[in-house]
Amino acid sequence: MSKLPFELLLALRYLRPKRTFVSIITLISIVGVALGVAVLIIVISVMSGFDQDLRAKILGYKSHLTITGWDSAKQITASIKNYPAVAEVIARNKSVKGVAPFVMGPVLVETQGDTNQAGLQGTPVLRGVDPLAESKVSELPRKVVFGDFDLSGHGMVVGSNFAQNMNLRLGDHLAVYSAHQLKKMKAAYDRNEHEAIAPSDFEVRGIFSMGYYEFDANVIVTSLANAQELYDLEDDVHGALVMLNDPYQAPQVKEELEKSLGDNYYVETWMEQSSDLLSAINVEKNVMFYLLFFIVLVAALCILSAQITFVIQKTREIGMLKALGATKLQISGIFLFQSAIIGVIGVTSGFGLGMLAVIYRNGFLHFLRRSTGLEIFPAKIYGFGELPALIMPNDVAIICLSSFVICILGGLLPAWRAGRLKPVEALRYE
């Protein structure tokens, strides 16, 4: 004799494939649960991968903390006048790994090379850095793909997308006008003095690729001294970039540095600087989870309809079991076990299908592109060479567990109804 409860034995017996409408609905329910779980695992893993890769790219070109001067009277940012002393205070913090100065601002550039078309591009961002200290706070010096990170003299490195848009090559020259120079010319014009300020001439000695389009298309880099000259800062700098041992300790270190530096400095974390982008990814992930979960809910409704039909078909057998002494709980258990078995099969199949799809996602996309020429995730739009994915055990556990619970809930009402049937009513017309 089997040691399994008779409720489970009957549930397994009733679920044997038969050429009936109920069996078809049961099969549809299993497929629905499997597809729902698989799609949820795929989408949430891909969204988590996007989030992880985006954070990695942000941390590649952004420092963990950015410190600028602050004019408390005017409530605006200001330049830092005594950078070495400020850097010394910052470096004393045990969580700080590196500090580097920067000058940053919008410029107007004009191409002057023989290999490109002459043209103007407004509002790229010029970033003046200390070549020796920059490697301590960003990946920029290691991301040069053509040429060298050579900022000596009037050397400059530009982003790959910027170089492509301006048709720049190594050795080409750029004429750069800073916002400060344009303001001086405008002020002279307002005084009816026709003063022309010659632009600064820079040689392109390197092209970098950070893997993030906005940075690669809009940032050009030169030495700190050149940037200070362009903005007439003398020895001042616009701010300091700070690298931490743990980027996720940035909020805590921010509070510590604000206390040690005083009210004349403004500290901003990388999370605050990229809050809109990171929040958008998180919101999209949550919205996709809730929307796609309706697939599982539809499967649960299929389970509900199949179980209701099954209870009606088995009314006579339910009456006989009641007459033989079966309790309400045991009768209800038969149909709850059915829902649980459907849930286990569906969730397990969906888990396996989803994991396979995540593992072989890029192989499938490459095959699809070779076969049809269709590119579902264009790199130019999304900024990723391949589709990222990150399998989070907690997310997968929540998806599988909640899907199984919904399957159980789908069979709860028919099970309760079956348990309340009275033997006399069930056998009245037999």
Sign of the torsion angle spanned by Cα atoms 82, 84, 89, 93: positive
Return the pLDDT at 90: 92
Task: Map out the domains of the chain as residue ranges.
Answer: 6-56+277-427, 65-273
Of the candidate ranges 19-33, 71-85, 238-252, 394-408, the one whose mean pLDDT is the lowest: 19-33
Distance of CA 172 to the CA centre of its chain: 36
Residue 309 structure tokens: 């039909």
Element (H, E) at 260: helix 250-261
Residue 358 structure tokens: 């995540």
Q: Can you tell me whether residue 427 is helix, strand or coil? A: helix
Pair type for strands 239-244 and 96-111: antiparallel
Q: Exposure of 192 by Cβ count < 10 A (0-12 exposed, 13-18 middle, 19+ buried)?
A: exposed
The CA angle 150-152-156, to the nearest 5 degrees, is 55
How far apart, in whole angstroms, are the C-alpha atoms of residue 157 and residue 144?
8
More confident call, 401 vs 367: 401
Q: Quick one: pLDDT band at residue 278, thresholds 50, 70, 90?
A: confident
Amino acid at 107: V
* pLDDT greater than 80 at residue 403: yes
Instruction: Mark out the alpha helices in 62-168 (DSSP H runs).
Output: 83-91, 131-134, 160-166
Task: Tell me the CA distances in angstroms from 68 to 29, 78, 201, one per residue in order.
Answer: 59, 7, 28
Amino acid at 406: I
* pLDDT greater than 50 at residue 71: yes
Q: Exposure of 231 by Cβ count < 10 A (0-12 exposed, 13-18 middle, 19+ buried)?
A: buried
Closest CA to 299 of 35, 34, 33: 33
Residue reference for tokens 């990170």: 149
Inter-axis angle of helices 412-419 and 275-313, nearest 10: 30
How far apart, in whole angstroms, are the C-alpha atoms of residue 334 and residue 368?
46
Q: What is the pLDDT of residues 187-233, one digit of tens each?
A: 766 677 666 677 788 999 999 988 777 788 889 999 999 999 888 88
pLDDT (mean) for 376-381: 64
List residues bridging with 315 in a β-sheet: none
Residue 322 structure tokens: 């009641």
Rg, Å, the chain Cα set: 33
How far apart, in whole angstroms, are the C-alpha atoms of residue 180 and residue 122?
14
How far apart, in whole angstroms, are the C-alpha atoms of residue 303 and residue 342?
8
Of the candidate ranges 43-52, 107-116, 291-300, the one whose mean pLDDT is the lowest: 107-116
Q: What is the pLDDT of residues 147-190, one digit of tens each?
A: 999 998 899 999 988 988 888 889 888 888 877 777 777 776 66
Helices and strands in the chain: count of H runs, count of E runs? 18, 11
How far apart, in whole angstroms, are the C-alpha atoms of residue 50 and residue 377?
12
Closest CA to 40 of 282, 403, 340: 403
Q: Which residues contact residue 70 at a Cβ distance below 8 angstroms, ignoring those fewer than 6 apart?
A: 76, 77, 78, 263, 264, 265, 266
Number of other CB atoms surrounding residue 117 within 10 Å: 8
Closest CA to 309 of 21, 14, 12: 21
Q: What is the pLDDT of residues 331-365, one digit of tens each?
A: 778 778 888 888 888 899 999 999 999 988 888 87
Element (H, E) at 208: strand 200-208
How far apart, in whole angstroms, are the C-alpha atoms of residue 37 and residue 346?
8
